[in-house]
Structure 1
Amino acid sequence: MAYTGAVKVGGPADVHELTDLIISKVAVGPMDNNAYLLRCRATDEQLLIDAAAEPHTLVALIGDGGLASVVTTHRHGDHWGALREVVAATDARTYAGRYDAEAIPVPTDVLVEDGDTLTVGRVELTARHLVGHTPGSIVLVYDDPHGHPHVFTGDCLFPGGVGNTRGNANNFTRLIDDVESKLFDPLPDETWVYPGHGADTTLGAERPHLAEWRERGW
Structure 2
Amino acid sequence: MTGPGHVEPGGAPLVGQLPGGATLVKVSVGPMDNNAYLLSADGDSVLIDAANDDERLLALIGDAPVSTIVTTHRHGDHIQALADVAEATGARLVAGHPDLESIERDAGVSGVTGVWDGDTVPLGETSLEVVGLVGHTPGSITLVYAPAGGPVHLFTGDSLFPGGPGKTWRAADFTSLMDDIEAKLFDRFGDDTVVHPGHGDDTTLGVERPQLDAWRARGW
Which residue in the other structure is 1:142 paired with?
145
> Which amino acid letter does the alignment assign opposite residue 136 of structure 2?
H
Counterpart check, 1:217 vs 2:219: yes
Alignment of 1:114-153 (within 5 A): 114-153=117-156
Retained in 2: the 8 A contact 1:93–1:109? Answer: yes
Per the TM alignment, residue 65 of structure 1 is displaced from its structure 2 partner at its CA by 1.5
Retained in 2: the 8 A contact 1:101–1:108? Answer: no
CA distance in 2, matches of 1:209, 1:148: 21
- Pick aligned residue for 1:198 from 184, 196, 200: 200
- Matched residue SS, 2:66: coil
Which residue in the other structure is 1:33 paired with?
34
> Which amino acid letter does the alignment assign opposite residue 116 of structure 1?
D
CA distance in 2, matches of 1:36, 1:97: 17
> Which amino acid letter does the alignment assign opposite residue 34 of structure 1?
N
Output the TM-score relative to the length of structure 1. 0.95
Deviates more, 1:27-36 or 1:8-17: 8-17
Per the TM alignment, residue 172 of structure 1 is displaced from its structure 2 partner at its CA by 0.2
Output the TM-score relative to the length of structure 2. 0.94
> Which amino acid letter does the alignment assign opposite residue 205 of structure 1?
V
Retained in 1: the 8 A contact 2:35–2:199? Answer: yes
Which residue in the other structure is 2:22 paired with?
21
> Which amino acid letter does the alignment assign opposite residue 187 of structure 1?
F
Alignment of 1:155-170 (within 5 A): 155-166=158-169, 168-170=170-172
Number of residue pairs matched by the alignment: 213
* 1:182-209 Cα distance to aligned partner (Å, 9 max, x none): 0000000000000000010000000000
CA distance in 1, matches of 2:83, 2:146: 30
- Matched residue SS, 1:48: strand
RMSD between aligned residues: 1.2
> Which amino acid letter does the alignment assign opposite residue 173 of structure 1?
T
Per the TM alignment, residue 12 of structure 1 is displaced from its structure 2 partner at its CA by 0.9
Question: Which consecutive segments of 4 or more residues in structure 1 shift more than 2 A?
Answer: none
* 1:109-158 Cα distance to aligned partner (Å, 9 max, x none): 31102111111111211100010000010000111213210000000000
- Matched residue SS, 1:144: coil
Retained in 1: the 8 A contact 2:100–2:112? Answer: no
CA distance in 2, matches of 1:157, 1:128: 13
Per the TM alignment, residue 34 of structure 1 is displaced from its structure 2 partner at its CA by 0.1
Per the TM alignment, residue 50 of structure 1 is displaced from its structure 2 partner at its CA by 0.2
Which residue in the other structure is 2:84 paired with?
85
Retained in 2: the 8 A contact 1:130–1:175? Answer: yes
CA distance in 2, matches of 1:24, 1:4: 14
Give the gaps of 5 or more residues in structure 1: none
CA distance in 1, matches of 2:120, 2:30: 30
Which residue in the other structure is 2:189 paired with?
187
* 1:19-68 Cα distance to aligned partner (Å, 9 max, x none): 3211100000111000000100xx21111000000000100110111211
Give the gaps of 5 or more residues in structure 2: none
Which residue in the other structure is 1:6 paired with?
6
CA distance in 2, matches of 1:56, 1:37: 14
Counterpart check, 1:46 vs 2:25: no
- Matched residue SS, 2:62: helix
